[in-house]
Structure formats: C-alpha cells, structure tokens
Amino acid sequence: MRMCRPRLILFWLTLAITLIVAPSVQAHLMNTGFGPFYDGLTHLFVTPEDLLPVIALALLAGLRGPRFGRAVLFALPAAWLVGSAAGLLLAPQVTLPVAETIVTIALGALLAASCPLPIAAVVGLAILLGLLHGSLNGSELPKTTSYGQISAAGVAVALFVVVSLLAGQAASVRVPWTRVAVRVAGSWIVAIGLLMLGWAMRAPG
C-alpha cells in the first residue's frame, strides 16, 4: 500500500498536468478536438448527473469487496453500451431529470447505509443504472454518422476507469475511519441528489 517516492512524484505530476491542461480543454461531448472517442471519454467527467451515481455505485461495490467491484466493473459499462445502442436506435432525444436524480439518491443512500446487498442486487443496480443513463445518453447522440457509436465506446472506457479506480480504492480500505469517510461520501451524494431534485421540481417564479 505504501507509495514509493517516484510513484508519489508521478501522482503529483499527473495531478498538476491535469490541473494545468483541463481549463484549456473546456471538455464537451462535441468539441474536445480529439474526435468522437475522446469526446465520449470526456463526457462522463463533465456530466455530474452521470458521474455522481457512478461514483456511488463504484464505492458501494468496493465497500462490499473486490468480487462486487469486479462484477460492476464489467456490468456497468456493458449495460451502458447496450443502453446507448438502444437510445441511438430507438428513442428521440429524451431527458428524465427526476428519474436520474432518484436513482442517484437511492445509490447514495445505499452507500451511506453501507447496505449489505447480495452481489446479484449490486449487479442489477449496475445494469439498471447503465441502461437508464446509457439510453438517455444515446438518445442525445447524433444518429446519422458513426459519431454516436464511437463516443459511446469512449463513455464505456471512462466508466471502466472510474469504477476500477474507485471500487479498487474502496475495496482496499481497512482502517475503520476510512470506511466511514466513504459512507459520508454517500450521504453527500444523497444531499446533492435531494438538492438536484429540488431544482428539477422547482416552483416557477
């Protein structure tokens, strides 16, 4: 677990480069300038509505153990891809902010409670999340060219990276307070979700 000095330096260098480069990217699904794959790859990181439930699910799976993390690592991107394909093929542009937010709140609450779900339930949640968000993503992508398919692949790779980083991190925590910290992150996600729900259902005027 201990990080040697060169790896530590590498981490901080990576962080510094990301911080310096990111502002000039102005990441956007359409115009990273690196093509559709990288547009998709970036999309997850600039879309909090998608990122928050993924964080919650990855941490929840990680807290339950490496087996859960590995299952979600493959189930979520696969379901997301299937959902994206369905959205690309079938749906007109759809947005379901309330449904998305309710899923986020539910996943955050399960994480905050460190709910001892069986692996089938965790995989089921990953599939549900992947299909819902994937289809919403897919419905917003251009349907006339291969742009949509390639950017969906980019999103799936980004999901793989996020889940492996976070689930791996959560699975490796042993000290009690760090597990509590992960659960506190779940409560923050619930709080953010509740506020998002308030925004979505905001009274006019």
Binding site for another protein (CB under 8 A): 1-3, 8, 11-12, 14-15, 18-19, 22-23, 25-31, 42, 45-49, 51-52, 55, 95, 112, 140, 162, 165-166, 169, 172-173, 175, 178, 180, 183-184, 187-188, 190-199, 201-203, 205
Query: Which of 139, 159, 158 is closest to 148 using CA atoms?
Result: 139
User: What letter represents residue 121's amino acid?
Assistant: A
Q: How far apart, in whole angstroms, are the C-alpha atoms of residue 115 and residue 64?
A: 9
Q: Nearer Cβ to another protein, position 4 or 120? A: 4
Closest CB 195 distance from another protein, rounded Å: 4
Quote the tokens at residue 53.
């439930």
In three-state secondary structure terms, 27 is coil
Closest CB 82 distance from another protein, rounded Å: 22
CB 29 within 8 A of CB 39: yes
Closest CB 125 distance from another protein, rounded Å: 20
Q: Nearer Cβ to another protein, position 11 or 74? A: 11
User: What letter represents residue 76's amino acid?
Assistant: L
> Taken in order 103, 51, 63, 76, is the CA torsion positive or negative?
positive
Q: Nearer Cβ to another protein, position 75 or 196? A: 196
Closest CB 8 distance from another protein, rounded Å: 6
User: What letter represents residue 87's amino acid?
Assistant: G
Q: Nearer Cβ to another protein, position 31 or 145? A: 31
Q: How far apart, in whole angstroms, are the C-alpha atoms of residue 168 and residue 163?
A: 8
Q: Nearer Cβ to another protein, position 74 or 199? A: 199
Quote the tokens at residue 187.
């409560």
DSSP 173: -
Closest CB 197 distance from another protein, rounded Å: 6
Closest CB 62 distance from another protein, rounded Å: 12
Q: Nearer Cβ to another protein, position 65 or 198? A: 198
Quote the tokens at residue 20.
């310096």
